[in-house]
Structure 1
Amino acid sequence: MSYLLINISIMNKDLLLSKLWEQYTSITPSAKKIHSLLEEKGEKIENDHIAIRTFNDARVNIAVLEKPFVKAGYVSKGEYVFESKKLFARHYEHATDNTAPRIFISELELEKCSEELQLSVKELLDSCDQSVFEKEDLVLSGAVWNANSFETYNTLLDESEYAAWMYVYGFRANHFTINVNALTNFSNLEELNSFLKESNWRMNASGGEIKGTPAQLLEQSSTLADLNAIKFDEGTKEIPSCYYEFALRYPMENGELYQGFVASSADKIFESTDVKLQS
């Protein structure tokens, strides 16, 4: 897959976010359809957060992918660990614009994975023109390596769905998230989920359709990822791409809405791209 040549150094926050949306919806047509469906009901969609995936290799880790966001005014606010999936993540909030979506960047902790997976990822990154990793538009670049082997995809999938997804799709928004608090026709996630299912959208039921509780100050749900046709050497295969998430936040003791994330809930949201949930 070729990567986008965009001079992000002259890109402001809004343009960066719009480019991420454009790239995301190009392989996630359901997001645009759901967006339009809600707008037809009179909703004005606000974005809660955008999620991005990577590896913790020093060439492409969180410290690398955060750069354009930090340059655009974002600051790190929270850290999260996902033991079973071998992931670490940080979330970012804009320093001056409280209407800007949060940014959630996760990375696969390679040292916790098998030697075979570590070698596969190293070979992928080594195969690239190393100057690619220095570009400020890396976050918009997709797969900058040759992702043409279905055998490699399946080998990675056997150990880590996250790694297999990264192999195919690379650097891009993994999902966008609708801020349910800003919706006017739905008072809770149950109502929104029911509406989406009545419109024939499939929801991620791993750990229950709604992840989190009011006591945890955050409830989340998501669709299952779209299936995208990928051309491998072995032929064209349908591979889960990205999904749309929905977040409802609750007030803390000081009356302000909770701004962070709940690791146990996010762990199940990650599974929206899992091949096993598509059957």
Structure 2
Amino acid sequence: MERVQALFDGLWKDYTQRLCPSAAKVHGLLEEGTPLLNDHIALRTFALPKVGLDRLAAPFIAIGYVPKGEYHFKAKKLFARHFEHPNPEAPKVFISELLVGQCSFELQQAVRALVEQVDDAALNDPAFLYGGRLWDIDTATYELLSGESEYAGWLSAHGFGANHFTVSVNQLSSLDEVADVNQVLRQSGFAINESGGEVKGDPEVRLEQSATMADKVTVKFSDGERQVSGGFYEFAKRYPLPDGSLYQGFVEASADKIFESTDQ
């Protein structure tokens, strides 16, 4: 587990310092004397050979992760897969990719120009997963991409990193329900993602999820700085399968709405 811990420590540091500074406040509200259990993280990328889903998965597979479920988000033109480690205490990993070939010619051109700037050698070090942006981009390109795909805009601005970590509600002792977690967060000034309802899923699909709306963070573009949506925090409660074990997968309809936590 040492290699797993090292990788997630890097992801956590980047997430809390660059993408979601409010995560520390969430911890303060929910921690009960023991560290919060992280259910999963999520990473975004473009479906192009150099930086596709398989490329992001490779460092996780190298430390024992195995591919599990596949997910299709047709309206958002996304494909995703989740990965699990043999050690059940290791967080799950959810990696999605924008199907660039299904997007407009303008978006395809812009994204390919960004990815062409990526040095192949940089992708050989697992630290690229939390290294941020490996390309230069101006605000006009960011606007073009965001106008067609919020996901493409977010990824073009931030590059690689965990767009969210996820508190396992199952572990909490004083809060049993996702709705209770939402209430605590609202009282502390957090906005909750209400797309598809503030609690996505139900016991019937064996997973309930909610999320804060993303922090606004300052991003440097080649022609200046601006504030854009960064990372958010998710909360998940898993329900048992008939054999008594907790459901470990994801629910497409719910995940589809979770993506919207980064909407501007």
Query: What range is the shorter-chain TM-score in?
Result: over 0.9
Looking at structure 2, the residues matched to 182 and 254 of structure 1 have their Cα atoms a distance apart, in angstroms, of: 20
The gaps in structure 1 that reach 5 residues or longer are 1-10
Match of 1:107 in 2: 97
Looking at structure 1, the residues matched to 178 and 200 of structure 2 have their Cα atoms a distance apart, in angstroms, of: 10
CA contact (8 A) 1:181 1:249 kept: yes
Q: Which runs of 4+ in 1 moved over 6 A?
A: none
- Indicate the SS of the match to 2:176: coil
**Is 1:53 equivalent to 2:44 in the alignment?**
yes
Looking at structure 2, the residues matched to 104 and 137 of structure 1 have their Cα atoms a distance apart, in angstroms, of: 17
Q: What amino acid does structure 2 have at the position aligned with 1:194?
A: Q
How far is 1:215 from its partner?
0.5
**Is 1:31 equivalent to 2:20 in the alignment?**
no
Looking at structure 2, the residues matched to 109 and 115 of structure 1 have their Cα atoms a distance apart, in angstroms, of: 13
**Is 1:146 equivalent to 2:128 in the alignment?**
no
TM-score (norm 2): 0.95
How far is 1:233 from its partner?
4.5
- Indicate the SS of the match to 1:29: coil
Specify whether residues 245 and 269 from structure 1 end up closer, same or farther in structure 2 by C-alpha distance, changes over 3 A only. same
Match of 1:119 in 2: 109
Q: In the comparison of the two structures, how many residue pairs are matched?
A: 262
- Give the one of 238, 241, 248 matched to 1:249: 238
Q: Which moved more, 1:136-145 or 1:262-271?
A: 136-145
Deviations 1:162-188 (A, max 9, x none): 111111111111100000000001111
Match of 2:12 in 1: 21
Alignment RMSD (CA, Å): 1.3
**Is 1:75 equivalent to 2:29 in the alignment?**
no
CA contact (8 A) 2:136 2:222 kept: no
CA contact (8 A) 1:81 1:87 kept: yes
**Is 1:170 equivalent to 2:162 in the alignment?**
no
- Give the one of 239, 250, 255 matched to 1:261: 250
TM-score (norm 1): 0.91
Q: What amino acid does structure 2 have at the position aligned with 1:93?
A: E
**Is 1:197 equivalent to 2:197 in the alignment?**
no
Looking at structure 1, the residues matched to 258 and 73 of structure 2 have their Cα atoms a distance apart, in angstroms, of: 12
The gaps in structure 2 that reach 5 residues or longer are none
How far is 1:141 from its partner?
2.0
Looking at structure 1, the residues matched to 142 and 228 of structure 2 have their Cα atoms a distance apart, in angstroms, of: 10
Q: What amino acid does structure 1 have at the position aligned with 2:252?
A: A
